[in-house]
Amino acid sequence: MKFLIVGLGNIGADYEGTRHNAGFMVLDKLAAECGVNFSMDRYAYWAEAKCKGHLLELIKPTTYMNDSGKAVRYWLEQEKIPVERCLVVVDDLALEPGRLRMKKGGSAGGHNGLGNIEALLGTQAYPRLRFGIGSNFSKGRQIDYVLGKFTPQDLALVEPKLEIACEMIKSFACAGLEITMNTYNNK
């Protein structure tokens, strides 16, 4: 069985280590754990990993955050993967730094990457792994915050959770969405 695992973020050195690139950080960790490397392909950096007989098509869209749906739609169609086997790893302001939550679907909640995916897929019904980045910013400073780098204190909370996020992705592919949510969401 094949799954599409999408890490949202922005490409380029200016965005490395920023809160908005939490999805890229998780996929980089997963690729390293699986011993695979990303290569440039259409609309994304792509790698293929195996997990207990399942294929994980890993993509980090090169379309920038606000056009992430273009890459997701292309790879779902290219690999003939149904939307329910597409897991989007996304930064989330509503969760404290490092907090992880898997969901079946739902609204974009103001996240431009999720909003674009929803618009181009025509559905909100795709699983996502929300990676908390916190919301410690003053009014009107949200863009600066999400495009800013993690503080050392936040990084101390975030880095250990990258491995747990990888466990959740593998569980999603091997055990399913419901079991993964029940196992990890209340930790």
Domain coordinates in residue numbering, the chain: 2-184
pLDDT value for 82: 97
pLDDT value for 178: 97
Mean pLDDT of 168-181: 97
The pTM assigned to this predicted structure is: 0.96
pLDDT value for 130: 97
Cα 31 to Cα 24, 45, 159: the distances in Å are 10, 11, 15
Q: For 13-35, what is each residue's pLDDT tens digit?
A: 999 999 999 999 999 999 999 99
Q: Which CATH number does 2-184 carry?
A: 3.40.50.1470
Q: For 118-129, what is each residue's pLDDT tens digit?
A: 999 999 999 999
Residue among 19, 20, 29, 60 flagged as catalytic: 20
CA angle 102, 130, 174 (to 5 degrees): 40
pLDDT value for 104: 95
| 186 — pLDDT class (breaks 50, 70, 90) | confident
Question: Does residue 160 carry a pLDDT above 80?
Answer: yes
Neighbours of 76 (CB within 10 A): 20
- Please say whether the beta carbons of 113 and 90 come within 8 A: yes
Rounded percentage of the chain residues whose pLDDT exceeds 70: 100
Mean pLDDT of 73-82: 97
Does the annotation mark 20 as catalytic?
yes
Three-class DSSP labels, 13-36:
HHHCCEHHHHHHHHHHHHHHHHCC
